[in-house]
Chains A and B, each alone.
Chain A
Amino acid sequence: EVQLVESGGDLVKPGGSLRLSCAASGFTFSNAWMSWVRQAPGKGLEWVGRIKSKTDGGTTDYAAPVKGRFTISRDDSKNTLYLQMNSLKTEDTAVYYCRSSSSDLDYWGQGTLVTVSS
């Protein structure tokens, strides 16, 4: 059974930093393209960014609102995905979901809440 478990969400002040983790199991993590998607309270889904598998180059892509502030990385030896968030803004407040997708499958974690407030 595929499982994605996010952790690290917290209350942080504007300008602060936070690192989220996503522990994966039930599939070959090293072969998977992984991404982060967020959802602000009462709003829709917003793609944050993704990281390709190392065999596909291991490169990252980011949405415009987070580019230069957020960094996605992976540790295939630990089956874990990370999201380093710096220079946080109040508009970054959201539930952050970890996602694994392929041509015909799409798995999501239950999300972790990040609140940016003074």
Chain B
Amino acid sequence: SYELTQPSSVSVSPGQTARITCSGDVLAKKYARWFQQKPGQAPVLVIYKDSERPSGIPERFSGSSSGTTVTLTISGAQVEDEADYYCYSAADNNVIFGGGTKLTVL
């Protein structure tokens, strides 16, 4: 079965760049998405097709891909970006979420 591996936590100071990685064999052949989830709220899509940003998502959010790893980058992280972030991919009728990364901005 497929797996997606993320670091459990990442911490940055406001204004710094935060990078969250997601690794898995499926990422070599399938696109990834990134979701942001704040406490008590539903997830929100912030990146799709590895690097595309939905309308309404700030430009400081970007995505990249290399081999079996995708990276979510938040350039100039803001306090309001503090949240859990999940990567996601789908292949062969299987859908997988990464374990999630808690981003702390303080």
Contact = CB atoms under 8 A, between A and B. Distances in A.
A106 B34 CA distance: 11
Give the size range of B's interface with the partner.
20 to 34
B95 A45 contact: no
A104 B52 contact: yes
Interface residues of A, number: 19
Contact of A47 (B45, B48, B52, B96): B96
Interface string B27-54: 0000001010100011111001100101
B29 to A, nearest CB: 16
Interface of B: 1, 33, 35, 37, 41-45, 48-49, 52, 54, 84, 86, 88, 93-100
Contacts of B54: 104-106
A105 B100 CA distance: 20
**B interface: dominant SS:** strand
Contacts of A105: 45, 54
Nearest to A62: B93
A111 B42 contact: yes
Contacts of B88: 45
Contact of A44 (B41, B45, B86, B95): B86
Most buried by A among B41, B42, B94: B42
A3 B81 CA distance: 24
B42 A97 contact: yes
A91 interface: no
Contact of B97 (A46, A64, A109, A111): A46
A90 interface: no
A35 interface: yes
A117 to B, nearest CB: 21
A109 B42 contact: yes
Which A-B residue pairs are the 4 nearest by beta carbons? A106-B45, A108-B42, A47-B95, A44-B100
